Amino acid sequence: MRNSGSKLETSLLLGPVILMFLFGFAVPIISFLWTSIAEIGSLSEIAATFVRTAGSRAAISAMITSNMIALVVTLCALLIAYPVAAYLCLAGRFRFTLVIFCIVVPYFTSMIVRTYSWMILLGRNGVVNNTLMSLGITDAPLALLYNRFGVIVGMTYILLPYMILTLFAAMKSVDPSFMRAARSLGAGRFYAFRRIYFPLTAHGVVSGSLIVFILAVGFFITPALMGGPQDTMTAMLIQRSVEIMFDWTSAAILSIQLLVVTLAIYFVYYWVTDSKKMMGA
């Protein structure tokens, strides 16, 4: 009796979120994909269109570009974030707050504003070029914007906080006495790091890299504004198919490609991440 009452309560509490998930997420995506694909015609026609669209030069090159950019951004973010997260574990209250402030303010600033600020920084007459020229490092302005470099800088900047916060959560749980024990038993600093600290924080490295990769591979705003024609990612191709060419079928096929990659990696993330640590929940 009590149990069934509790079950009803659980359903009532979870009902709204499930309805929202269904009608704001699952149903729109499935109906968009289903309708656009079913429009093509018979199964063999669907298969042929699928192969033609997904195998087109534009789609393949966008997929390669998306994965390459996501990979480079993930590696850059990991290399930059790891020492910062380690520092946060060691820092006193004041320095901790200061560094967190410098991470959190950009993290919660509108993505379009952050992209805009990098466009100002990296433009032909931007701050970076002016500084480099006044220091005599270069004579003519460098092309830092509207190319791969700009996209990677912008995206790394936007995704860094996710990496730092995930790594920090993992590092916080490492007992500092392990490192002291290793050192007092004669391990060199590098040896102790490689054999003790890094393995203990490896799950954070894996979770952080997966989440940054997932977010990066479907990125749209930053590559659309900061990239050149060579940097067309799958997400941009989807937007163009719908807004410029009204080609819902291609958009659906490209979306399936991108969703498969995203969900596959999300599944790995789900599998390796403790439920208590999922996105900080």
Restricted to residues 35-64, the positions that interact with another protein (CB under 8 A) are 35-36
Q: Tell which one of 52, 189, 194, 195 touches another protein (CB under 8 A).
A: 189
CA distance 251 to 240: 8
Comparison of 36 and 49: residue with beta carbon closer to another protein: 36
Site map for another protein, 192-231, x if CB under 8 A? -------------------x--xx-xxxxx---x------
Comparison of 72 and 96: residue with beta carbon closer to another protein: 96
Q: Tell which one of 54, 71, 78, 99 touches another protein (CB under 8 A).
A: 99
Report which of 43, 55, 74, 70 is spatially closest to residue 163, judged by C-alpha positions. Answer: 74
What's the min distance (Å) between Cβ of 37 and another protein?
A: 12
Q: Is 242 in the site for another protein (CB under 8 A)?
A: yes
CA distance 168 to 176: 14
Q: Is 98 in the site for another protein (CB under 8 A)?
A: yes
Q: Is 278 in the site for another protein (CB under 8 A)?
A: yes
CA distance 167 to 85: 6
- Let me know: does 278 contact 59? Beta carbons within 8 Å: no
Residues 100-139 that bind another protein (CB under 8 A): 102-106, 108-121, 125-127, 130
Residues 141-160 that bind another protein (CB under 8 A): 157, 160
DSSP state of 247: -
Comparison of 44 and 186: residue with beta carbon closer to another protein: 186
Report which of 214, 119, 122, 124 is spatially closest to residue 166, judged by C-alpha positions. Answer: 214
Packed helices 111-122 and 127-134: angle between N→C axes, nearest 10 degrees: 30
Backbone angles phi, psi at 28, to 5 degrees: -60, -45
**Residue 204 Cα to chain centre, angstroms:** 15
Comparison of 205 and 252: residue with beta carbon closer to another protein: 252
What is the CB neighbour count within 10 angstroms for residue 77?
26
Comparison of 61 and 117: residue with beta carbon closer to another protein: 117
What's the min distance (Å) between Cβ of 242 and another protein?
A: 5
Q: Length of the chain, please?
A: 281
Q: Tell which one of 16, 92, 186, 229 touches another protein (CB under 8 A).
A: 16
